[in-house]
Amino acid sequence: MTGPDHDLLRFVASSFRSVWALELLLVLKSEERVWSREELVATLRASELVVSKALDSLLAAGLASVDAEGARYMPVSEEVARNVERAESLYAAKPDAVRRRIVSSSAADLAAFADAFRLRKE
């Protein structure tokens, strides 16, 4: 994939560590309010661990705010908000392409991490 979709998929790969994180962001974005962890677990039908990890990654990517009350969609800038809007549209139109990019990016990160511990023959 080339062009604007390619650039957008790079944003997706760098912003979302998992498809769960993208799905969680879309839930947060669906209503401008504070979502409790319990609500997010129930809405996504996910475990507390999955929701916690996804929230951590969204916080690190500057896409959400998390405090004791819960989480809310809060992009760090207007540019990031526009990219999220575009990513949401692309995900609605081409969900498999977006999922593949997130998964392949995660797999590449894991392979690089594993390679760092590989013993080399000298």
Q: What is the pLDDT of residues 76-91, one digit of tens each?
A: 999 999 999 999 999 9
Residues, the chain: 122
Site of tokens 């990654």: 57
Kind of pairing, strands 70-73 and 64-67? antiparallel
Q: Are 47 and 41 in contact (CB under 8 A)?
A: yes
User: Distance between the two ends of the chain, CA-based, in angstroms?
Assistant: 39
Please report which confidence band the pLDDT of residue 5 belongs to, taking 50, 70 and 90 as the band edges: confident
Helices vs strands, H then E, count in the chain: 6, 2
Domains annotated for the chain, with CATH where assigned, are 4-115 (1.10.10.10)
Could you read off the pLDDT of 17-63 as tens digits, one per residue? 999 999 999 999 999 999 999 999 999 999 999 999 999 999 999 99
Q: Which helix (H) or strand (E) holds 65?
A: strand 64-67
Per-residue confidence (pLDDT) for residue 107, from 0 to 100: 43
For helices 48-60 and 37-44, give the axis angle rounded to 10 degrees.
Answer: 110
